[in-house]
Structure 1
Amino acid sequence: MITTGLYDLVTSEGDDGTMHPAEQLWTPGEDAAENGFIVHRGLYVTGIDDPTEDRLFPIGFVVLGHQRWADIIEAAAAYMARVHGWRNLHLYPGDDPSELIPRIPRAVLTHGVFLRHPHPDHGCACEWDDTWRMIWTPSTEPGAVPITAMRHPAAPTTAASIPNPDSGAPATWAT
């Protein structure tokens, strides 16, 4: 799940009335593959949902670190092949192949903060256990991780809410 804007850690109230964090900052590392990322030629890539989470396939892709545009396209295609079993990056399964879609969008170099639920000391056993969400942030935000992001070519332009360097977002175009 991705949200925009500055982030707040979710808190919950314990049995004794004390508030404690229900999320923690997560820096994806060796455990990234266990949390939805695949490794393709040394790049960690995952598909991302739109904020409504009502799509069957990802509307964008996130690669950890700042990567070249061509490398994220290859990693996105590998993600779709491995996770969803298809190689066509231009259409979603079931789309009309005669329908014109825009060319592959450019990737952006930006930063994000990953928040994991729940805080390990206060597991709540809810449906969000061991899940994470990402929020786009400036590079100066505590816990910010460098990311290369690209929306899926068949997704609506505004669906992924990926930062746009042409609109003042904290991002630059990948080379």
Structure 2
Amino acid sequence: MTTTALYEIETHEADDGTTHPAEQLWTPCLDDAPDNGFIVHRGLYVIGIDGPTGDHLYPVGFIALGHHQWTDIIEGATAYMASIHGWRNLHLYPGDDPSVLIPRIPRAAQTHGVFLRHLHPDHPCGCEWEGTWRMVWAPPTEPGAVPVTALRHPAAPATAAGIPNPDHEAMPATWAA
């Protein structure tokens, strides 16, 4: 659902030669965020995200709509794991060996993202991805960018989620308080 590259809206060519957007900008809102996989926990809209490879069984990270404190995103991520996967321990993935110690929860980053919905509703394609969405990291000045708070799952490798790191990347981000 996420990628580390800055976004560029994809297009496709119709039979008559006209170009149409393959995706549209979308912003999850109160009405449709829960229908698209977000949970609402104490007013915080949280979802588990996969990494750029898209091949993980459980979330490798979490995003919350808006900029929030680190403790709030941890609580929201724990609520997401409990609600979606029936697991209250944020330190491990369901089924992991509890004797494996994961000593710290990673820091949360406040950044921006653009939500893209495939396919543009005016030009349906009928493919398996139709009606799905993805988020890409974006500078705050990018049209359609919304503030998000991102947190890597503690059991995921540091590089798995592709979440911007304010200490090491050019992507605009700050550490959550």
How far did 1:25 drift? 0.5
In the alignment, does 2:57 pair up with 1:47? no
**Which secondary structure state, in structure 2, belongs to the residue aligned with residue 112 of structure 1?**
strand
- The letter for the 1-side match of 2:174 is T
Alignment RMSD, CA only? 1.0
- The letter for the 1-side match of 2:8 is D
Question: Percent of counterpart pairs with the same letter?
Answer: 74
Q: Which has the higher helix share?
A: 1
In the alignment, does 2:13 pair up with 1:13? yes
Decide whether the 8 Å contact of 1:38 with 1:46 is kept in 2: yes
**Which secondary structure state, in structure 1, belongs to the residue aligned with residue 75 of structure 2?**
helix
What residue ranges of structure 1 are gaps of 5+ in the alignment? none
Q: 105-114 vs 89-98, which deviates more?
A: 89-98
| 2:172 matched residue in structure 1 | 170
**Which secondary structure state, in structure 1, belongs to the residue aligned with residue 98 of structure 2?**
coil
**Which secondary structure state, in structure 1, belongs to the residue aligned with residue 122 of structure 2?**
helix
- The letter for the 1-side match of 2:62 is F
Cα distance in structure 1, aligned partners of 2:131 and 2:96? 33
TM superposition outliers: structure 1 runs of 4+ over 3 Å: none
In the alignment, does 2:29 pair up with 1:26? no
Decide whether the 8 Å contact of 1:102 with 1:154 is kept in 2: no
- The letter for the 2-side match of 1:170 is P
How far did 1:92 drift? 0.8
TM-score (norm 1): 0.96
Q: 90-99 vs 150-159, which deviates more?
A: 90-99
Cα distance in structure 2, aligned partners of 1:155 and 1:4? 16
Cα distance in structure 2, aligned partners of 1:4 and 1:55? 16
Cα distance in structure 1, aligned partners of 2:7 and 2:27? 15
List per-residue Cα deviations over 1:118-160 (Å, max 9, x = no partner).
1010011111111111111111111100000000000001110
List per-residue Cα deviations over 1:62-109 (Å, max 9, x = no partner).
000001111100100110111111111001122121122241011111
| 2:148 matched residue in structure 1 | 147
Cα distance in structure 2, aligned partners of 1:142 and 1:85? 37
In the alignment, does 2:104 pair up with 1:106? no
**Equivalences for residues 88-167 of structure 1 within 5 A:** 88-167=89-168
